[in-house]
Amino acid sequence: MYWACILITCIQLTYCKVLVPPTTVLDWWQNSIVYEIFPLSFKDSNGDGSGDFKGITEKLDYIVDLGVTAIWITPFFESPLESGGYDITNYLDVQHVFGTLDDFKDLLNTAHSKNLKVIMDFVPNHTSDKHIWFEKSAKNETDYADYYIWKDAKNQEDVIKNNATPIVPNNWQMIFGGSAWTWHNTRKQFYFAQFVKNLPDLNFRNKNVHKEMKNVLNYWIKLGIDGIRVDALKHVYESESLEDEPVVDENMALNYFNLDHIYTIDQDEVYDLIKEWRLLLDDFKQSDHHTRIIMTESYSNTSILFKYYTSGAEIPTNFNLLEEYHHTPNDYEREIENWITKMPVGATFNSVLQNHDHTRFPTFYGTELIDGMNALSLFLPGVSIVYYGGEIGMEDTSDKINYARSPMQWDDTKNAGFTNSTHEPWVAIHPDYVTRNVQTENKNPKSYLNFFKSISKLRQTETFKRGGLAIDILNNNTVFVLTRFLHGHENYTLMINMDTNYTQRVRLSDQVSNLHDILTIVIGSENSNFNSGNSISTTEWLNLSPGATIVLTDNLISTSSSIPVDDTTTKSTPSSSTQLYITSRIVLLCLFLITIFNL
């Protein structure tokens, strides 16, 4: 009976939109906006056509003005830059194209002076084949012989005696095509590389490799970084068995995507590795009480990523909202609910909608939804990971490799203000920079940039820091409605018409529960015809033009007239509604009550 009473109470708490008050202070990262910077493309300060540390430092005030809490800089270590900087030749020095180590220290110190945290992209899975470790390992030098994964050919004896063609140890494949095994003529063995052959995988079953990586982390943490983003974490360990991976479809050609990767990804040892690095970072916290975060990159099942949380990672990056297909409101609702309701108690939600490896969302969804997608990213609870240029609606270029990594568009001058040199930028700038750039958008109150800033400011409210989340879906899966609420504070409602072809007509009083009768417009996208400060009644019909996005609040009600409506548009249809919350506090209450009643 006690159990039933507690369960009913918790259900009532949830569906009555009553949030249990917070009991702890949020750490710096838990409501952060993390701004990803691909340094080659952000700002060139010395006219060589490539972005650099001084360029980033020069633009830190701009980043602060966006409402950003932390910057994540993709790899800047010494590298031949054959694989975007993820091909490292020295973890303890910087790539000279970005500047000097002193330039990085200046960037770090200036960022900290502006209350910006700096997250370093950490690449433990592989190095460049030009790294001194690999060169020594290829020569079979004793101290480095097992720094990488070396295996004999299946016909090793025949290769050595008769110069036969080496046969690979198994069917493991590289992500970018071909066998994962590359024959090395000097060592007369195969080495393993999961991505491309110039990126040999390190052997984390070698204790010395662990020591090397801990030395790397110690070095950069002492220098002042505030956390690490661990690249390709799910690939760090492989099974020692060397068995063939199961083929998914025997009728299809052998390639990476036709194998069930039970031996090359998501091995259990990864959890211990996270714990090892968590302990290292926490050792520093004991002396200065400052949290250094672990953010991870693994396109893995959520059940695995949730174990990252419990192993010590604050931000196991949630890629489930990234484009793989055209998400509808129902798709977003399902993915958000699946993470929030199943993540470990005390964990913090996070989301990313675009990054350097994926199509920018204006290219994928269309320009009509630029404001809507930025608003969605910033409206969700927890950590919002955004990508440079997303705030001004930058799109992909035609470059086949670096399509999402083109130079930042600062103004409408030659080369978009990215570089003032006669040197061409390292990769082509998108031709729309003439109209879509920071300088131009700063002057337009209804621009993508100013819309982004308006939403980001809301994240400083108590409602966004600690409040709940409710999701409603209207008009046959076309209108996406999110409400952030907190008892005793103002509530905010985001409406996105994700139909980019038709105007949708909605009446909030028919569809969304627990809204005030009169709401104020905080901001409306340029394609919405809704203006900040105006008030609307939840009983009136609202016309949402294709892709239109508006944010409403029950605070600071204006006396301005409401928005006129058009009787010719499609009427609202019944909604599918789910109330989602940052429910860890409710769960904790349940546990507390269960303890009291000794259940």
Tell me how far apart the alpha carbons of residues 142 and 140 are, in angstroms, rounded to a whole number.
6
In the block, which residue shows the tokens 């930028």? 425
Q: What percentage of the chain exceeds 70 in pLDDT?
A: 88
Which pLDDT does position 223 carry in this prediction? 98
Q: Is residue 231 annotated as part of the catalytic site, yes or no? A: yes
250's CB contacts (< 8 A; 6+ apart) are none
**pTM for this entry:** 0.90
Segment 82-132, tens digit of pLDDT: 999 999 999 999 999 999 999 999 999 999 999 999 999 999 999 999 999
Q: What share of the chain is helix, strand, coil (3-state, %, to 5)?
A: 30, 20, 50
Of 231, 333, 368, 391, the catalytic one is 231
Q: Are 259 and 174 in contact (CB under 8 A)?
A: no
CA distances from 164 to 154, 157, 161, 188 (A): 11, 9, 8, 12
Which pLDDT does position 567 carry in this prediction? 37
Segment 269-288, tens digit of pLDDT: 999 999 999 999 999 999 99
Segment 358-400, tens digit of pLDDT: 999 999 999 999 999 999 999 999 999 999 999 999 999 999 9
Q: Are 527 and 543 in contact (CB under 8 A)?
A: no
Mean pLDDT of 64-92: 97
Q: Are 204 and 273 in contact (CB under 8 A)?
A: yes
Of 44, 52, 297, 396, the catalytic one is 297
Q: With helix as H, strand as E and coil as C, how does 436-474 read?
A: CCHHHHHCCCCCHHHHHHHHHHHCCCHHHHHCEEEEEEE
Closest CA to 280 of 290, 292, 268: 292
Which pLDDT does position 421 carry in this prediction? 81
Tell me how far apart the alpha carbons of residues 487 and 20 are, in angstroms, rounded to a whole number.
9
Tell me how far apart the alpha carbons of residues 80 and 129 are, in angstroms, rounded to a whole number.
10
With cut-offs at 50, 70 and 90, classify the pLDDT of residue 449. Answer: very high
Q: Is residue 58 annotated as part of the catalytic site, yes or no? A: no
In the block, which residue shows the tokens 């025997």? 250
